[in-house]
A and B are shown apart, each in its own frame.
Chain A
Amino acid sequence: MPYTKHRRLVGTAVAVTLGASALAACGSSSDDDGEARSGPVSLTYWTWTPGMDKVVDLWNKGPGKKEQITVTVKKQASGDTLVTKILTAHKAGKAPDLVQAEYQALPTLVSNDALADIGDAVGDAKSRFAEGVWQQTTLGTDAVYAVPQDIGPMMFYYREDLFKEYGLTVPATWDEFAETARKLKKAAPDKDLTTFSANDSGLFAGLAQQAGARWWTTSGDRWKVGIDDEATKKVAEFWGGLVAEGAVDNQPMYTPAWNKALNTGKQIAWVSAVWAPGTLTTAAPDTKGKWAMAPLPQWTGGESSTGSWGGSSTAVTTDSANKDAAAKFAAWLNTDGEALNALAKESGIYPASTSAQLSGAFTNPPEYFANQPDFYDKAADIAKTTAPSAWGPNVNVAYTTFKDAFGAAAKNKSDFTAALDAMQRDTVADLKKQGFGVAE
């Protein structure tokens, strides 16, 4: 439920939208959005999605032309640095009308009063998205701060041919996963089932999310940080154990060595997300058609739940002079059939909108997975089981500590729970430093 700082900011956002004179007087925007708007509107949009300019062209030539709303794409580099850039621009009152933001960045942006509540303009889009996805854009309040664009439900990828060769079965639970790793090590000591990558905080966060962890919650008007909760501890101990006994590798992902390991079959499985085919195409070009996808192993047999790794949304900033027009575009971009088709084709994203997950570009499997015709049917089913996530205003700090602490722990094959404690400590300390109330 809302916390003080948050509530105050929501109040401010509402005040801005209503055009409260005091704020309008010092802001650079003279006339506010809404019905009073007359004449053409032009909006700028910061996004990193490749090919987005082509999708936006569809809007500018179609619905946008009718409504006299022109959107200009300004392509950006993704990542935490973009959040900093948006906040810097916002400080000068010059943030663009629309920004692309990863789900975990939304609380940071909202707590800095950078994102506008567009609930009135996009509220009825809610039915197009899975509950767990939509909830990330409301931050548990009545406001809506963004429209979901793409999601990254997590899945288990494995080399079908090598699994057969070593007599392995696809693990349905994490216990079986560990058994599979050991069995492979026994059969082929130079091979690894997979690796624990301390470089990819998003992967660990997704695994914890699947286990039921809720890293940031609010109690009363305070933040509660649960990075060291039981669920996350379970995940950390599980992977720490596998690394310590040498059942899985401890090298980071997305390195040339990792690419090589996948390409040569030294690593024969990968815990990843729906966008893995794109990565595998460049990382392991020689193994095309030899991989298969399955749901993520579960903590309890018979359950079905997954985490998410990646995914982003489209948000409207408080600096925008035409918030309604911007919100209209954001809703079109992420719910309109034509737009979603183009996004899938031009940008290769996996849409958050449930209706789009089985249509258009997603009726055929990705080229790399031609051997698995029902790839996207399975993916859509898995996406439905995404566990709710709970992001807070300093995800970047938690992620940085993750890389340092878990990086060292994975390298030394030492205790992962100590690394987890460090992550919890740093995150709480930073929240306090930023002036948030923290419940212990």
Chain B
Amino acid sequence: MSTLAPTGAPPAAGTSRGPGRRRRIALVPTVTLLLGALYCLLPVAWVVIASTKSGSELFSTFTFWPGTGFAENLSDLGAYRDGVYWQWMGNSALYAGLGALLSTCVSAVSGYALATYRFRGREALFNVLLAGVLMPPVILAVPQYLLLAQADLTDSHLSVLLPQILSPYGVYLARIYAAAAVPADVVEAGRMDGAGEWRIFTRVALPMMLPGLVTVFLFQFVAIWNNFLLPYIMLSDDEKFPITLGLYTLLEQGASTPALYTLVITGAFLAVFPLVALFLVIQRFWSLDLLSGAVKS
């Protein structure tokens, strides 16, 4: 699923510079990049093609030759445990959508505060955050489980949402972005005009930070969508599972039961769509580049 991420990203802003210079195609980098693209796209192509194969075609026909079982796979997937797959899809959308939204809000507020206000311990706080960025979230899953168990929140939707709301990386990104995009002069001008701090934040700073926040949102969305260990430890009821976990239960059915490969492949294929759609929709916010020009430098 995550392999799609690079394809959705727009080209970096700086690449189309220098219109007057003659452009030569550099052979080695081009070939290298093409190979890289192939490397990333082949598995995706495999999933797309394999999802069209029926159980008997899956391993017996040529790998990149489409099969005839797509409709059947779809209906089997929909019928599995009375359509629990769509429930997983809905759960994933809830965890990733709401989780990323809340996480973006928290990141925006804290990032802005860290960038704009000077207070005691600011750098210390920021350094702790930086350490948090370096800490892989995986190792926090078990302590978080034990913590939430104390509050009797395990095996609930909240148990997956809550730990993902604070994202050190999101706060870090928001701070960097706020520092670059929201000039101190603009904030000062707002104060001069009598606006309250909250009003300055929501009406002035937030629009300026928007492209950065979209990035934070996307990062968090993809991270939560692909997250496995946290929901794995937190949830025991398979109707609350996100899609990653649900597909895993289809694979691991016990030694005596064959894995439901066709369903897993079709399920993985469908699970890519929301991510692709999200990238396509949100991409345009990136080009809404910086309401720069508020102040002259």
A residues sitting closer than 8 Å to B (CB atoms) are: 44, 46, 48-50, 53, 74-79, 81, 85, 88-89, 91-94, 96, 102, 150, 152, 202, 256, 259-260, 263-264, 273-275, 278-279, 281-283, 285-286, 309-312, 347-350
Contacts and interface: CB of A to CB of B under 8 A. Distances in A.
B60 A78 contact: no
B258 A202 contact: no
Q: How large is the interface on B (under 10, 10 to 19, 20 to 34, 35 or more residues)?
A: 20 to 34
Contacts of A273: 256
B154 interface: yes
Nearest to B256: A275
24 contacts: A48-B254, A49-B254, A50-B257, A75-B238, A76-B249, A77-B249, A77-B251, A85-B232, A88-B145, A88-B146, A89-B145, A89-B149, A89-B236, A92-B154, A94-B149, A96-B236, A150-B256, A260-B59, A283-B59, A285-B56, A309-B255, A310-B254, A312-B254, A347-B257
B76 to A, nearest CB: 13
B273 interface: no
Contacts of B258: 278-279, 281-283
B169 interface: no
Contacts of B146: 88, 91-92
B237 to A, nearest CB: 5
Given A77-B251, A92-B154, A286-B60, A278 B256 contact: yes
Nearest to B148: A92
B154 A285 contact: no
Interface string B254-273: 11111001000000000000
Interface in B236-291: 236-238, 245, 248-249, 251-258, 261
Given A74-B236, A92-B149, 8 more contacts: A75-B81, A75-B238, A77-B248, A77-B249, A92-B146, A283-B59, A286-B56, A350-B256
B239 to A, nearest CB: 9
A202 B256 CA distance: 12
Interface-centre pick from B55, B81, B149 (highest chain A CB count, 10 A): B149
B128 interface: no
Given A48-B252, A310-B254, A260 B60 contact: yes
B36 to A, nearest CB: 25
A192 B168 CA distance: 55
A75 B249 contact: yes
Contacts, number: 100
Interface of B: 55-56, 58-60, 81, 142, 145-146, 149-150, 154, 232-233, 236-238, 245, 248-249, 251-258, 261
Nearest to B57: A285
Contacts of B255: 78, 102, 152, 202, 275, 309-311
A9 B265 CA distance: 44
| Complex A-B, nearest 10 residue pairs according to Cβ-Cβ distance, in ascending order | A92-B149, A275-B256, A310-B255, A77-B252, A259-B59, A285-B56, A78-B254, A75-B238, A77-B249, A74-B236
Main secondary structure of the interface of A (DSSP, over half): mixed
A309 B254 CA distance: 11
B96 to A, nearest CB: 21
A347 B60 CA distance: 26
B236 A275 contact: no
A364 to B, nearest CB: 18
Contacts of A49: 253-254, 257
A49 to B, nearest CB: 6
Contact of B232 (A53, A81, A286, A348): A81
Nearest to B261: A282
A377 B251 CA distance: 31
A53 B256 CA distance: 18
A426 B100 CA distance: 43
A366 to B, nearest CB: 12
Nearest to B236: A74
Given A75-B238, A76-B249, A85 B233 contact: yes
Contacts of A79: 252
Contacts of B81: 53, 75
Contacts of B251: 77
A256 B249 contact: no
Contact of B233 (A88, A259, A263): A88
A79 B258 CA distance: 14
A256 B59 contact: yes
Contacts of B256: 150, 152, 273-275, 278, 310-311, 348-350
B238 to A, nearest CB: 4
A283 B142 CA distance: 37
Contacts of B60: 259-260, 263-264, 285-286
Contacts of B142: 88
B3 to A, nearest CB: 20
A271 to B, nearest CB: 14
A44 B142 CA distance: 21
A348 B257 CA distance: 8
